[in-house]
């Protein structure tokens, strides 16, 4: 394998640049060229490629976002789009791909290999931490710290005005950000899509006469919560507790940006390097991850089809500490 391609796809996450840097530097160590592909699968189709050397990835480890840009490509879902992408890969002399992204990125690489035999290794880049095959995904730690910092600031004003704040964090299908930021931010309630009875439990907690009464409260809501978004839940809550002064804050895309934390920089560097060496060792259709502090390869199919669950111990801890 003499030349590999690297791209970022789907939602951006802090640490993607650190991962790109590790890919280029590890490839250079093994005397392999790297082609940077702009805008993910769409860049493959539109032939947006550039040669990356060690100098090109200098001074990027500390930046959020991705220097290769990212996009979601509807065209790559078609056989015609994948044919264009393959022809461009062939013309560029690319022997394998490192794909940094989430489930959709893995699914695209898996189909691409089955149709055209292009070897691919995935690196888990998503703030949601919802990918099977790794304890943590690139960007999750930074997103949680960003959310926690915002919660700390909102707590100050909630305390000053004796208000109940419903704070919505990202997590369309996953409650990891809500759970971790809720525990670390001292929330009195956490609502996640994985727990169907969480709103009922919240109501019981506020109705429980034996619970200590607080002058203010912070409730964290994952955006994919089954009861609805933070505004809908706050309206519902207000009808049951009319005496509370209630406010809603949606953190939104602030969670995607910012300088990656130490943990995300090390994780991204480790996985980017491992992705290159896995390709060079003949692996394909696998994603790299860290499980119990050990490097692990997981097939694309397992990563796509198996659902990563939140820890029941962590959920129980959140219930105990919110009392």
Q: Give catalytic residues, as residue numbers.
A: 128
Phi, psi of 158 (to 5 degrees): -60, -40
Q: Which residue has 């909630």 as its token pair?
A: 158
85 burial via Cβ count (<10 Å: 0-12, 13-18, 19+): buried
Which bin fits 228, alpha (ψ -120 to 50), beta or left (φ > 0)? left
Q: Helices (H), strands (E): how many in the chain?
A: 11, 11
Beta strands in 79-204 (DSSP E): 96-101, 120-124, 164-169, 189-191
- What is the CB-side half-sphere exposure of residue 1 using CA atoms within 13 A? 25
Gap between the Cα atoms of 132 and 124, Å rounded: 9
Other beta carbons less than 10 A from residue 99's beta carbon: 28
């Amino acid at each position: 394998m003499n030349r590999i391609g690297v791209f970022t796809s789907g939602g951006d996450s802090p640490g993607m640049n650190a991962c790109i840097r590790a890919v280029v530097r590890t490839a250079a160590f093994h005397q392999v060229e790297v082609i940077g592909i702009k805008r993910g699968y769409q860049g493959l189709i539109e032939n947006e490629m550039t040669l990356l050397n060690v100098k090109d990835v200098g001074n990027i480890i500390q930046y959020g976002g991705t220097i290769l840009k990212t996009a979601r490509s509807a065209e790559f879902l078609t056989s015609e789009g994948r044919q264009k992408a393959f022809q461009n890969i062939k013309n560029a002399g690319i022997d394998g791909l490192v794909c940094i992204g989430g489930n959709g990125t893995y699914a695209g690489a898996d189909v691409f290999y089955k149709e055209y035999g292009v070897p691919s290794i995935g690196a888990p880049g998503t703030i949601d931490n919802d990918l099977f095959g790794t304890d943590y995904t690139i960007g999750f730690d930074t997103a949680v710290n960003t959310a926690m910092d915002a919660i700390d600031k909102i707590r100050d004003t909630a305390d000053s005005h004796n208000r109940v704040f419903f704070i919505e964090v990202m997590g369309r299908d996953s409650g990891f950000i809500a759970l971790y930021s809720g525990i670390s931010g001292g929330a009195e309630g956490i609502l996640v899509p994985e727990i169907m009875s969480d709103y009922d439990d919240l109501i019981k907690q506020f109705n429980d006469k034996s619970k200590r009464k607080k002058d203010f409260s912070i409730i964290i809501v994952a955006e994919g919560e089954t009861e609805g978004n933070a505004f809908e839940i706050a309206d519902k809550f207000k009808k049951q507790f009319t005496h509370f002064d209630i406010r809603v804050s949606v953190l939104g895309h602030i969670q995607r940006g910012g300088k990656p934390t130490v943990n995300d920089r090390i994780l991204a560097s480790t996985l980017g390097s491992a992705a290159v060496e896995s390709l060079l060792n003949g692996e394909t259709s696998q994603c790299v991850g860290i499980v119990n502090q050990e490097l692990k390869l997981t097939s694309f199919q397992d990563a796509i089809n198996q659902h990563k669950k939140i820890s029941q111990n962590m959920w129980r801890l959140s219930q105990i500490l919110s009392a």
